[in-house]
Chain A
């Protein structure tokens, strides 16, 4: 298609190879300041606490988890919007962690972010043309006014909007259309990687489907790689090639989409999948649901050993006291435990829950 971006080889199905983005031991700790006149750091909210992941060219990696698990913070730390407090993020061989704003700027062309809320992420006082053109002006990508015009027009058409409407303001568009504007802006710099932070969560389902299809089309026609952050596992299953599940600042299971949904091995993944109601009355009513108790513990004070043990149905009901000892004392690493993919549970066991 006549994309506004230059021709980058469409990578098609990821044959893996070298990851385009490689994250190792990523940490983002927010300090907790004590009371009193002199603010001392008395602790830290360990929002992201050792995340490893690789994103391969042409791939969609889904990052899922419940609110507060650190998935959005991971996305922002990868983009250096909230500088990481530890670990490393390597994009095409270049370390990102520790770069200052100026040093980041050339990299911003290659990694762009699409925000969740299309109402808050567009400047209400700029017409759509300016919103989409702004990144190109900042990065000096256009020769002249005419070139800029034609590129904005192309971008706006690419995301399925009418280019005649670029003189309108964001308020004149619906949620789905605004999200398309946000996507057009992200594409303006011809990025290689898009970090999509809950891009369809704010949209109604009939509108959401159109944006999902658009993202799929853009990915294959422009050869993009996505880090797709979402809490809706149905959407993630639909769009992702691989899926990583986060809990309390860590990835606890990561596998190919098919594998993760059909053969989850971590008790949390199993509970998460079984908690999602299926829009199919017969199947939904015939399902056995794993109900996990309680809420996510505070990331300022995560449990010892395995972070999920306080809510784990396996820990509570199946394990012997002797076996529990391991969960209490040893933090399980993310590794292949015989399930054919990586997970972080001492007693991982594949169980179909859908």
Chain B
């Protein structure tokens, strides 16, 4: 496995001329330069727990081309962080992973930690959510950057590494970088720490940067700064990026393509315009409809999605979104739909995409609150729903009398609760 990470002509890396050296990891012989840089195929991750096997990631497929930004969105527990940790080879040993992750044609799954170490930071690097915990508090930030540089380039002198660290800190916009290399993480604010983390991630000119909620812990004005820095990092390194976030605004600004995850599976993949203006999966539509809009003065009621995401322990057959879906029909419970082609480069895992298409992104057309009431208020559900919702029917009657106006909206998350059977969600790699 020495082909990766060791052959790049990086020895001259530490000039402080301000230009980034273009030393790159090389591909396996026969790698097609037009093929995706990172290709994830049918990735499945299961964690054994006391309650059974938690199937956190259930068949993720995506391909990341050179220079592309792929946004992965989804709610807590949808498996988006676990997916990225799997790519980095950072899952605990108990995790059972199947499928394939190819970086430049080379299979990453099943590699030893040692050989993964050559790829991490150099081929694929990662920016974590919390800059408070992803830096080591007992080392100066400069040392932490230099470590990253020298681990991948043993011949780099410590002087050259330090010069390069200063250069990197300048690139990510840290003032007085020359002095600040000798500061400890606690001397930096949250935004500044995240800049350091980004500097570390881009230190070795990676081809793929995976950013897992990089701005979630930050205030909006700082978030705007960091997004700016990320754009700089992408321009400087020419890297492709996987941007994982729950913030649909961030993705709208930065991504070329978007992958929407639900219950461990991608349910819709398309260009950023497809996803925001012509979504085909009811979940995507519902997600957009439940967002209050900063740019709209008309105060339309939000259209919440009723229910809560399913537990990923012992999932019932059928579409996992079906219990929350206003377009639900009996067929939805027969089998989990694969992703159908609904447009060029646009796929959606739903058998009723035509109905969704008719809404043209207007969530209120489909997720009307009255519709939600109807399904919730015990209007006879299609046969088979009850079975499919076996872990839900305990809470099924969580419906206040229909004459109440106030709680109608409130039904959104009242209907389901399988939390009882799944105490701590071990799958939850992101925010608790």
Is A196 an interface residue when CB atoms closer than 8 A count as contact? no
18 further contact pairs, Cβ within 8 A, besides A1-B404, A279-B249, A281-B277:
A160-B412, A161-B410, A162-B397, A173-B417, A209-B302, A210-B290, A212-B302, A216-B409, A221-B406, A238-B293, A257-B297, A271-B221, A278-B249, A279-B251, A284-B253, A289-B224, A291-B224, A296-B219
CA gap between A237 and B295 in the complex, in Å: 9
Q: Contacting chain B: which of A50-58, A87-95, A127-135, A199-207?
A: A199-207
Tell me which of A174, A280, A295 contacts B417 (CB under 8 A).
A174
Q: Contacting chain B: which of A105-113, A164-172, A322-330?
A: A164-172
CA gap between A296 and B248 in the complex, in Å: 26
| Cβ–Cβ contact B308 & A207, under 8 A | yes
Q: Would A157 and B401 be within 8 Å (CB), given that A206-B287, A278-B249, A279-B249 are in contact? A: yes
Q: Which 9 pairs between the two chains have the least Cβ-Cβ distance? A: A160-B410, A210-B412, A213-B409, A277-B249, A162-B398, A209-B290, A176-B413, A238-B292, A209-B304
Beta-carbon contacts under 8 Å, B376-428 to A: 395, 397-401, 403-414, 417, 419-420, 423
Is A214 an interface residue when CB atoms closer than 8 A count as contact? yes
Is A180 an interface residue when CB atoms closer than 8 A count as contact? yes
> Please, which residue of chain B has its CB at the minimum distance from the CB of A203?
B413
Shortest Cβ gap from B370 to chain A (Å)? 13
CA gap between A233 and B296 in the complex, in Å: 12
Tell me which of A1, A282, A295 contacts B406 (CB under 8 A).
A1
Is B273 an interface residue when CB atoms closer than 8 A count as contact? yes
| Cβ–Cβ contact A1 & B405, under 8 A | yes
| Cβ–Cβ contact A174 & B221, under 8 A | no
**A-B pair number, CB within 8 angstroms:** 223
Beta-carbon contacts under 8 Å, A280-295 to B: 280-285, 289, 291-293, 295
Is B130 an interface residue when CB atoms closer than 8 A count as contact? no
| Cβ–Cβ contact B404 & A157, under 8 A | yes
| Cβ–Cβ contact B253 & A160, under 8 A | no
**A residues adjacent to B (C-beta < 8 A):** 1-3, 66-67, 119, 157-162, 164-165, 171-174, 176-177, 180, 204-214, 216-218, 221, 231-235, 237-239, 257-258, 261-262, 271-285, 289, 291-293, 295-296, 311, 354
Q: Would A158 and B404 be within 8 Å (CB), given that A174-B413, A176-B308, A206-B305 are in contact? A: yes
| Cβ–Cβ contact A157 & B407, under 8 A | yes
10 of the cross-chain contacts (CB-CB < 8 Å) are A66-B220, A161-B400, A162-B398, A180-B413, A211-B410, A272-B221, A278-B252, A279-B293, A295-B190, A295-B192
| Cβ–Cβ contact B406 & A280, under 8 A | no
**B residues adjacent to A (C-beta < 8 A):** 75-76, 189-192, 219-225, 227-228, 246-253, 272-273, 276-277, 286-295, 297, 299, 301-306, 308, 369, 395, 397-401, 403-414, 417, 419-420, 423, 432
